[in-house]
């Protein structure tokens, strides 16, 4: 089978197409014939060697994949032929990948494989950060960084659906229009305006109840300053490559809370807490109230180009590989 291998840590030139043996499922596992693999910024961080606890090179990246089960191991309820999507841990950038049967979800009727590949990481992260970790309630306000990205487009929809006032940042008018169409009440072009100032102006100097930040660096610090007294901030990534830092004296005088979120670690330690969101998300996707925004698809062999497309900040929604 064909797979994409990161030969060594570095830029996109370290990615190449390789031939590997088709893997055989063990007990509790299934093999998926991959129709679509989601790309996440964590994949890029792993490729650069900047992801804490990430794999040693060489490795095949890819946290999530959608496709058809074509082989099953022992003690598995699946029979083969089912359309599924799931968290595969690693190895999704390939024609076949193994997955634990318990980490899979049936693909809703009418949903394409590309759309399905944009569901697990994006929507679970968005829902958990907003509600399970962030405690967002109807009538509250939320600031969502990168509101036109994969997690951002999911978070905007979920927050709007919950009756929150939504602030979202993006870098182009096209991305701002996308966020607005999905339910963002206050789209902010961070290349032209200071998002903290906009938030404070629109909230009479109070700030938002909750801020979600997957960027890090100074964006995280400004997100904290855009959050009200007794507000919450949920950092879930550092796409800038620089983790966010904060002046704790500023925080404790304002009685603010920071609640960290990491999907992979949460799945390892408290999967039941992460997966509480699945019934609601599945219902929303099946009914059409929620949608997976697929921005661009690339052939498997063009994975390096897809990574560069994301790094150049050209992407909106989910970027997907199709073997």
- In this structure, what CATH number is given to the domain that contains residue 170? 3.40.50.720
In terms of domains, do 160 and 214 share one? yes
In terms of domains, do 146 and 249 share one? yes
In terms of domains, do 234 and 127 share one? yes
In terms of domains, do 131 and 249 share one? yes
Structural domains of the chain, count: 2
Instruction: Read off the DSSP letter of residue 132.
Output: I
pLDDT at 124: 96
pLDDT at 240: 85
pLDDT at 238: 87
> Would you say the C-alpha torsion 294, 265, 70, 323 has a positive or negative sign?
positive
Is residue 88 one of the residues assigned to a domain?
A: yes
Could you list the pLDDT tens digit for every one of the 323 residues in the chain? Answer: 999 999 999 999 999 999 999 999 999 999 999 999 999 989 999 999 988 889 999 999 999 999 999 999 999 999 999 999 999 989 999 999 999 998 898 998 889 999 999 999 999 999 999 999 999 999 999 999 999 999 999 999 999 999 999 999 999 999 999 999 999 999 999 999 999 999 999 999 999 999 999 999 999 999 999 999 999 999 999 888 888 888 888 888 999 999 999 999 999 899 999 999 999 998 999 899 999 999 899 999 999 999 999 998 888 889 999 99
pLDDT at 248: 87
Q: Which of 263, 282, 302 is the last residue of a domain?
A: 263
Each residue of 110-131: b (16+ CB within 10 Å) or e?
Answer: ebbbbbbbbbbbbbbbbbbbbb
Take residue 194 and report the two structure tokens written for it.
């200071």
Distances (CA, A) of 254 to 23, 91, 204: 53, 44, 17
Q: What is the pTM of this model?
A: 0.93
């Amino acid at each position: 089978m064909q797979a994409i291998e990161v030969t060594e840590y570095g830029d996109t030139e370290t990615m190449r197409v390789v031939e590997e043996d088709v893997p055989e499922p063990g007990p509790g596992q299934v093999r998926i014939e991959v129709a679509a693999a989601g790309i996440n910024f964590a994949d890029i961080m792993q490729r650069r060697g900047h992801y804490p606890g990430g794999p040693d090179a060489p490795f095949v990246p890819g946290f999530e994949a959608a496709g058809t089960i074509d082989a099953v191991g022992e003690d598995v309820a699946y029979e083969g032929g089912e359309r599924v999507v799931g968290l595969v841990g690693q190895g999704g950038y390939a024609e076949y990948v193994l997955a634990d049967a318990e980490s899979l979800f049936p693909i809703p009727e009418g949903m394409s494989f590309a759309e399905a590949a944009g569901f697990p990481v994006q929507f679970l992260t968005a829902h958990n950060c907003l509600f399970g970790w962030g405690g967002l309630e109807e009538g509250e306000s939320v600031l969502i960084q990168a509101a036109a990205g994969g997690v951002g487009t999911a978070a905007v929809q979920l927050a709007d659906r919950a009756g929150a006032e939504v602030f979202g940042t993006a870098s182009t008018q096209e991305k701002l229009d996308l966020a607005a169409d999905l339910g963002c009440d206050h789209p902010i072009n961070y290349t032209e305006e200071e998002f903290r100032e906009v938030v404070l102006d629109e909230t009479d100097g109070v700030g938002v109840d909750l801020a979600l930040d997957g960027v890090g660096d100074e964006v995280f610090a400004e997100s904290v300053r855009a959050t009200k007294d007794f507000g919450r901030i949920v950092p879930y990534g550092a796409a800038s490559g620089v983790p966010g830092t904060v002046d704790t004296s500023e925080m404790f005088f304002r009685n603010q809370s920071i609640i960290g979120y990491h999907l992979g670690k949460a799945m390892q330690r408290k999967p039941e807490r992460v997966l509480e969101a699945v019934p609601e998300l599945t219902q929303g996707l099946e009914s059409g109230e929620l949608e997976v925004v697929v921005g661009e698809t690339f052939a498997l062999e063009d994975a390096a180009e897809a990574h560069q497309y994301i790094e150049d900040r050209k992407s909106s929604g989910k970027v997907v590989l199709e073997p």
